[in-house]
């Protein structure tokens, strides 16, 4: 009997058809809660990638010429179908990624919103018409689809990271090849079925999975018809891809790693600060680029904050993602658990004090318990690296200047969170923190209607808001005399 998950492992999705890879290889997809194999998906080669680009190229002229209103209606239908199938999609995400069902439901709602938002953006593509300052001609600026886009996504949000790229690309009139992460490809394939049902023509969205992402991506980027690379993943892989894309001078959008500070001032509403920190830390069990990675608490409320956060972390129910009572699911792989534990051990050896958790859970799944650790020196590895797990390190601080300097002491600049009742100070500190996104008295910043992205080595470009579609459009300027 096929499991429900294996229904989404019918092949590579190229030109609207399911096909085996030319070499016939397979990639196993496992459930991180149990280690059980859920399905096998095809392992695409360079030749398969070329076929996917060919399909995207064949579909491109017709899709670019499709009236924006029609593109909009198809995107709106994608939104509606995702909402109708939210439960089934959430269960699939939970199975292959391990995240708690409630997080998976949140992800489906977030992912679907990118279709609704971009259905509205598709019919609002900008343009300019102005008299040149010298008065000799008109300046006309027309926004055209940038061309074929290669989209590469990580495992931590298998639906949302894909729709955050596919929806604006299609709204702009581009065709795409999506390469999802090998750990979580089933959601991407399930969504491919949904796009077809919503009326997305064959070849407009192609999906391929591969165990050799380096050569497969390089081959796609070497094709001169590919004009866009939109990547979400680690900063290390982002750097490699920027170098690869440089060979053909391809436009790049990069959503990379983070090292988000949370700053809790003495005057914060502690209920709001603890709730916000729990959300910023524990959404997706800490496996988020926006996750609170360093929690700075001012001396006056430090001990009370530690006590309350420890109570909340200890009370979390850890278990298989698919169990509706679970609040903290497993990590994605055994390697992820080892990395988290290495960071905790390093902090402990440097004087860190563990208040709860701190030891990997024995058993078949990849579990790590919610952990609170204080007295961590800022020289510890976890102050510089992404923890990407349910570990909350708390650092004590005295002054605003000190905490701003420390918060900015990182190569990353994605998200930051500030808790204070003094809104003047909140806005002042927001201005001083080097990050693309700030949560002010709020532990969640993601919103399809807002520009998501980072500064410094957290990335280039923005997804969402009015900025998202612009990443897939190229302005064409016409100097018109008449």
With binding defined as CB under 6 A, does residue 258 bind ligand NAP?
yes
Q: Is 400 a catalytic residue?
A: no
Minimal distance, residue 315 CB to ligand NAP, in Å: 27
Nearer to ligand NAP, 258 or 357 (CB): 258
Rule CB under 6 A: choose which of 98, 145, 147, 154 binds ligand NAP.
154
Minimal distance, residue 396 CB to ligand NAP, in Å: 26
Rule CB under 6 A: choose which of 152, 306, 394, 435 binds ligand NAP.
152
Minimal distance, residue 300 CB to ligand NAP, in Å: 32
Distance, in Å, from the CA atom of 473 to the CA atom of 469, rounded to the nearest integer, reads 7
| 6, HSE (Cβ side, Cα atoms, 13 Å) | 10
Pattern 357-396, binding to ligand NAP, x per CB under 6 A? -----------------------------x----------
Minimal distance, residue 149 CB to ligand NAP, in Å: 15
* Dihedral angle sign, alpha carbons of residues 87, 93, 96, 98: negative
With binding defined as CB under 6 A, does residue 234 bind ligand NAP?
yes
Give the residue from 181, 165, 184, 170 showing the smallest Cα distance to 252: 165
Size of the site for ligand NAP (CB under 6 A): 29
Nearer to ligand NAP, 369 or 436 (CB): 436
Rule CB under 6 A: choose which of 42, 98, 158, 233 binds ligand NAP.
233
Nearer to ligand NAP, 92 or 336 (CB): 336
Nearer to ligand NAP, 81 or 237 (CB): 237
Q: Which stretch binds ligand NAP (CB under 6 A): 31-39, 115-123, 149-157, 268-276?
A: 149-157
Nearer to ligand NAP, 369 or 459 (CB): 459
Nearer to ligand NAP, 369 or 468 (CB): 468
Q: If you search the block for the tokens 């018809």, which residue do you land on?
A: 225
Rule CB under 6 A: choose which of 32, 213, 286, 461 binds ligand NAP.
213
Distance, in Å, from the CA atom of 442 to the CA atom of 283, rounded to the nearest integer, reads 13
Nearer to ligand NAP, 217 or 374 (CB): 217
For residue 200, give both structure tokens: 């997305």
With binding defined as CB under 6 A, does residue 155 bind ligand NAP?
yes
With binding defined as CB under 6 A, does residue 187 bind ligand NAP?
no
Distance, in Å, from the CA atom of 242 to the CA atom of 194, rounded to the nearest integer, reads 31
Residues 163-182 that bind ligand NAP (CB under 6 A): 179, 181-182
Nearer to ligand NAP, 59 or 237 (CB): 237
Choose the catalytic residue: 121, 255, 287, 471: 255
Distance, in Å, from the CA atom of 141 to the CA atom of 477, rounded to the nearest integer, reads 4
Choose the catalytic residue: 78, 174, 252, 289: 289
Rule CB under 6 A: choose which of 72, 118, 156, 457 binds ligand NAP.
156
Q: Which stretch binds ligand NAP (CB under 6 A): 33-41, 104-112, 117-125, 150-158?
A: 150-158
Q: Which stretch binds ligand NAP (CB under 6 A): 43-51, 103-111, 234-242, 311-319?
A: 234-242
Q: Is 289 a catalytic residue?
A: yes
Tell me how crowded residue 368 is: count the other CB atoms within 10 A of its CB: 27
Distance, in Å, from the CA atom of 235 to the CA atom of 241, rounded to the nearest integer, reads 10
Rule CB under 6 A: choose which of 98, 459, 461, 464 binds ligand NAP.
459
Minimal distance, residue 293 CB to ligand NAP, in Å: 10
Spell out the SS3 assignment of the chain: CCCCHHHHCCCEEECCEEECCCCCCEEEEECCCCCCEEEEEECCCHHHHHHHHHHHHHHHHHHHHCCHHHHHHHHHHHHHHHHHCHHHHHHHHHHHHCCCHHHHHHHHHHHHHHHHHHHHHHCCCCEEEEECCCCCCEEEEEEEECCEEEEECCCCCCCHHHHHHHHHHHHHCCCEEEECCCCCCHHHHHHHHHHHHHCCCCCCEEECCCCCHHHHHHHHHHCCCEEEEEEECCHHHHHHHHHHHHCCCCEEEEECCCCEEEEECCCCCHHHHHHHHHHHHHHHHHCCCCCEEEEEEEHHHHHHHHHHHHHHHHHCCECCCCCCCCCECCCCCHHHHHHHHHHHHHHHHCCCEEEECCCCCCCCCCCCCCEEEECCCCCCHHHCCCCCCCEEEEEEECCHHHHHHHHCCCCCCCEEEEECCCHHHHHHHHHHCCCCEEEECCCCCCCCCCCECCCHHHEECCECCCHHHHCCEEEEEEEECC
With binding defined as CB under 6 A, does residue 256 bind ligand NAP?
yes
Q: Which stretch binds ligand NAP (CB under 6 A): 8-16, 130-138, 255-263, 292-300?
A: 255-263
Nearer to ligand NAP, 12 or 198 (CB): 12
Pattern 299-328, binding to ligand NAP, x per CB under 6 A? ------------------------------
Point out which residues bind ligand NAP (CB under 6 A): 152-157, 161, 179, 181-183, 213-214, 217, 232-234, 237, 240-241, 255-258, 289, 386, 414, 454, 459
Catalytic residues: 255, 289
């Amino acid at each position: 009997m096929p499991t429900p998950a294996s229904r989404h492992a019918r092949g590579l999705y190229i030109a609207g058809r399911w096909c085996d890879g030319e070499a016939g290889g397979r990639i196993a997809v496992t459930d991180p809660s149990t280690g059980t194999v859920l399905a096998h998906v095809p392992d695409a080669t360079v030749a398969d990638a070329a076929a996917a680009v060919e399909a995207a190229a064949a579909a491109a002229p017709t899709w670019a010429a499709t009236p924006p209103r029609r593109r909009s209606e198809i995107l709106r239908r994608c939104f509606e179908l995702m909402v109708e199938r939210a439960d089934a999609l959430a269960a699939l995400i939970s199975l292959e990624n391990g995240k708690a069902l409630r997080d998976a439901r949140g992800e489906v709602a977030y992912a679907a919103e990118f279709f609704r938002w971009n259905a509205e953006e598709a019919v609002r593509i900008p343009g300019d018409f102005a008299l040149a300052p010298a008065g000799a001609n008109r300046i006309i600026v027309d926004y055209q689809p940038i061309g074929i886009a290669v989209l590469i996504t990580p495992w931590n949000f298998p639906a949302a990271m894909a729709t955050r790229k596919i929806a604006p690309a299609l709204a702009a009139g581009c065709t795409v090849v999506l390469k999802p992460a090998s750990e979580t490809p089933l959601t991407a394939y399930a969504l491919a079925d949904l796009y077809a049902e919503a009326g997305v023509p064959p070849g407009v969205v192609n999906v391929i999975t591969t165990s050799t992402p380096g050569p497969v991506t390089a081959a796609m980027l070497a094709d001169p018809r590919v004009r866009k690379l939109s990547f979400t993943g680690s900063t290390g892989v982002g750097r490699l891809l920027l170098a690869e894309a440089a060979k053909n001078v391809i436009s790049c959008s990069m959503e990379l790693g983070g090292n988000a500070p949370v700053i809790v001032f003495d005057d914060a509403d502690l209920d709001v600060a603890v709730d916000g920190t729990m959300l910023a830390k524990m959404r997706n069990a800490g496996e988020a680029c926006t996750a609170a990675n360093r929690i700075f608490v001012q001396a006056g409320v430090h001990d009370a904050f530690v006590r309350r956060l420890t109570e909340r972390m200890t009370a979390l129910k850890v278990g298989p993602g698919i169990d509706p009572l679970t609040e903290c699911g497993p990590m994605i792989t055994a390697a992820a658990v080892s990395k988290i534990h290495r960071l905790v051990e390093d902090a402990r050896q440097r004087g860190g004090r563990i208040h709860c958790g701190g030891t990997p859970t024995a058993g078949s799944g990849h579990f790590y318990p919610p952990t609170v650790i204080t007295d961590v020196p800022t020289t510890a590895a976890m102050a510089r690296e992404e923890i990407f797990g349910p570990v909350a390190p708390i650092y004590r601080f005295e002054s605003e200047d000190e905490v701003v300097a420390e918060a900015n002491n990182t190569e990353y600049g994605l998200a930051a969170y500030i808790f204070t009742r003094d809104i003047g100070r909140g806005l002042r500190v927001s201005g001083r923190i080097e990050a693309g996104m700030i949560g002010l008295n709020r532990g969640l910043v993601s919103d399809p209607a807002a520009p998501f992205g980072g500064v410094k080595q957290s990335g280039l470009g923005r997804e969402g808001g009015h900025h998202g579609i612009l990443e897939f459009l190229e302005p064409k300027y016409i100097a018109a005399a008449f």
